[in-house]
Amino acid sequence: MSATAETHVHDDHDVHHHKETFITKYIFSQDHKMIAKQYLITGVIVMGIIGIMMSLMIRMQIAWPEQPNPLFEALLGKWAPGGVMDADIYLALVTIHGTIMVFFVLTAGLSGTFSNLLIPLQIGARDMASGFLNMVSYWLFFVSSVIMILSFFVEAGPAAAGWTIYPPLSALPMAQGGSGMGMTLWLVSMAFFIASSLLGSLNYIVTVINLRTKGMSMTRLPLTIWAFFVTAIIGVISFPVLLSAALLLIMDRSFGTSFFLSDIFIQGEVLHYQGGSPVLFEHLFWFLGHPEVYIVLLPALGITSEIIATNSRKPIFGYRAMVASILAIAFLSTIVWGHHMFISGMNPFLGSVFTFTTLLIAIPSAVKAFNYITTLWKGNLQMNPAMLFSIGLVSTFITGGLTGIILGDSALDINVHDTYFVVAHFHLVMGISALYGVFAGVYHWFPRMFGRMMNKNLGYLHFWVTAICAYGVFFPMHFIGMAGLPRRYYTNSNFPLFDDTTNTQAVITVFALVAGLAQLVFLYNFIASIFYGKKAEQNPWNSNTLEWTAPVEHMHGNWPGELPQVYRWAYDYSKPGYEEDFVPQNVPMKDGEEELHH
């Protein structure tokens, strides 16, 4: 009975399918797989290239501040006359690099690509709950990206107050060139971005709750879906707070209110603002800002869980503990924001509370790391590029996460706050880790997205150069921070005290440049494989999850005929009693077979 109903639905889809024009298929598409590709190409590839280029310019400026650099003049034009970078544009690069990488690449790019691609495919749904909202979400993101990039072309330059845009610096055009039109565009762009993110997140939540196929109970969900689901919930809880902070900041900037400003004397005049507090903005910002770290990280960890299990040919170790730790991290992530503000002037007692909650979050993180390592134990590891990036992620997640123990401790934070130690910490634990998650996901699901395989040898080359350079860049950076060097300095040459760090800075920059080149290998592999890659089999990695039961060809509705039914969890790899070392979720249980994880 249900079979006929399903077939009927499918027929509807088929009819729909034939009506597709170029515009509805490739541009204003409502198909989740196409939207995922749109996010991948604009969010990850295009914005990623821009973000990485900026980071390389920042690194070159730090390493060789005095030398004119022809590259600067070529890329920055009037802001680098004669190849000498302007101090304002340096801060702008730092700001926009942070904004693009955190929000556009690792939030929208990562979740947008993989939540969209995998949620319907892995839970056995024909599409997202609302294809239309999904399309709107993407196009809001697109508009937001365009506005952010356009802000580079305004007279006084783009926003330059750091990605945290603390007022009063961000509120007063006379405090900084970038706080004029550039900051307005930043705020408008982020308003679009938040709208996009909320629509996307709501869609993911509704889809996971309502559209799971028969037999796909919550406890049988692959960990990818758990991660995307919880990420979407954190996004819905915290992004509106950033929106409110942005709106209040717009009010302060343009309508004379004093939410964040008080007692200001600048450029020879007293401003009228009275009674507001920048600390309030910091609270509002970090109420999003910290969960944001997990919005970036959790999807990457979800992807890693799936890829490590598949390529180890073993069940993920401790499925329930993994789900519990995702939930624990999500909950704790909303009550730790104050660790960014230990020395902001807030009450020291609050500092104690936030130290406590912050160090608590290390516990579920440790559980995850140990469970990954145990999953490898006695596995039969298939070293595909995706697997390498997943192992790499666990490695950087541990290295970067551990230094969080120092930064989360209010007393120790006094001395390393806002130094390069912080830069090293968060780049490893969320930047590099999440990027590895993106790369792992692209290598793993490329056949699902484009029907072709990526070249594995180029993948190996890409991974090993990137892995070595990532440590080469960020490991020594901790030590520069522990020597007390503040971040966001245009040049350190006014502080002879730090002269002994200059050689290390140069070494770091060389590693960064090589890492940048390694990404060209990926780019080449990615583009060439779309057109010339080897045709993919239906299930190239012998994986258990449902997306590999769908046909390789692009089709609206994902499965011809009935939706697959699910009988088991996603991790029956190398299960005793089976000839093959994998048992897909849609294979019924044998008589007397136990579902071991319950």
Partner 1 sequence: MTTLLIFIIVLFVAVALWQMVKIFDLAQVGTSNNQVATDKDNKFNGYMMIGFLIFIYAITIASFVYLGDLPLMSNSASEHGPGLDNLMVISMIVIFTVQIITQFLLHYFAFKYRGEKGKKALFYADNNTLEAIWTVIPVFVLAGLIIYGLFTWNDIMNIDESEDAMVVELYAQQFNWKARYGGEDNVLGKANVRLIDLDKANILGVDEDDPNAKDDVIVTELHLPVGKPILFKMRSQDVLHSAYMPHFRAQMNCVPGMVTQFAFTPTVTTAEMRQNPDIQDKVANINALRLERKAEIEEAGQDLTYEFDYLLLCNKICGKSHYNMQMKIVVETQEEFDAWMKEQKTFENSLN
Per rule CB under 8 A, is residue 173 in the interface with partner 1? no
- Binding of partner 1 by 250 (CB under 8 A): no
Of 108 and 394, the one with the shorter C-beta distance to partner 1 is: 394
Q: Which is nearer to partner 1, 2 or 415 (CB)?
A: 415
Supply the DSSP string of 305-342, one letter for each residue: HHHHHHHHTSPPTTHHHHHHHHHHHHHHHTT-GGGG-T
Task: State how far the Cα of 470 lies from the Cα of 472, in Å rounded to an integer.
Answer: 5
Single-letter residue type at 251: M
CB 525 within 8 A of CB 454: yes
Task: Give the range of 40-48, 242-250, 267-275, 547-555 binding partner 1 by CB under 8 A.
Answer: 267-275
Cα separation, 557 vs 567, whole angstroms: 21
- Work out which of 484, 555, 565, 593 binds partner 1, going by CB under 8 A: 484
Q: Which residue of 362, 552, 555, 587 would you call a contact of partner 1, by CB under 8 A?
A: 362
> Residues 17, 25, 456, 554: which binds partner 1 (CB under 8 A)?
456
Indicate the SS3 state at residue 298: helix
Q: Which of 219, 493, 589, 590: binder of partner 1 (CB under 8 A)?
A: 493
230 binds partner 1 (CB under 8 A): no
Among 38, 410, 545, 558, which residue interacts with partner 1 (rule: CB under 8 A)?
A: 410
| Minimum CB distance to partner 1 smaller for 372 or for 436 | 372
**Contact residue for partner 1 among 414, 527, 538, 590 (CB under 8 A):** 414
Residue 262 interacts with partner 1 (CB under 8 A)?
yes
Other C-beta atoms within 10 Å of 345: how many? 11
CA–CA separation, 99 and 145 (whole Å) = 11
Q: Cβ–Cβ contacts within 10 Å for residue 468, how many? A: 14
Radius of gyration from C-alpha coordinates of the chain: 24
Work out whether 590 is an interface residue with partner 1 (CB under 8 A).
Answer: no
Q: Please pick, from the candidates 209, 247, 411, 589, the single residue that binds partner 1 as defined by CB under 8 A.
A: 411
Site for partner 1 in 95-154 (CB under 8 A): none
Q: Which residue of 20, 418, 562, 593 would you call a contact of partner 1, by CB under 8 A?
A: 418
Angle ∠(427,429,430) on CA atoms, nearest 5: 70
Counting contacts by CB under 8 A, is residue 409 touching partner 1?
A: yes
**Least distance (Å) from partner 1 to the CB of residue 164?**
8
Nearer Cβ to partner 1, position 126 or 462? Answer: 462
Q: Which is nearer to partner 1, 283 or 556 (CB)?
A: 283
Torsion of CA 366, 372, 373, 377, to 10 degrees: 150
Residue 247 φ/ψ, nearest 5 degrees: -65, -45
**Residues of this chain, 305-344, that bind partner 1 according to CB under 8 A:** 312-321, 343-344
Which pairs with CB-CB distance under 8 Å and at least 24 residues apart come from 248-252?
248/281, 248/284, 249/165, 249/167, 249/170, 249/171, 249/187, 249/281, 250/184, 250/187, 252/167, 252/171, 252/276
User: Looking at 38-46, 220-228, 483-491, 550-558, which segment touches partner 1 (CB under 8 A)?
Assistant: 483-491
Which residue among 263, 331, 538, 551 contacts partner 1 (CB under 8 A)?
Answer: 263
Residues present in the chain in total? 598
Instruction: State in angstroms the smallest separation of the CB of 457 from partner 1.
Output: 4
CB of 245 vs partner 1, minimal distance in Å: 15
Contacts of 494 (CB under 8 A, 6+ apart): none
79 in helix, strand or coil? helix
Closer CB to partner 1, 32 or 339, in the complex: 339
540 binds partner 1 per the rule CB under 8 A: yes
In the region spanning residues 181 to 210, those forming contacts with partner 1, defined by CB under 8 A, are none
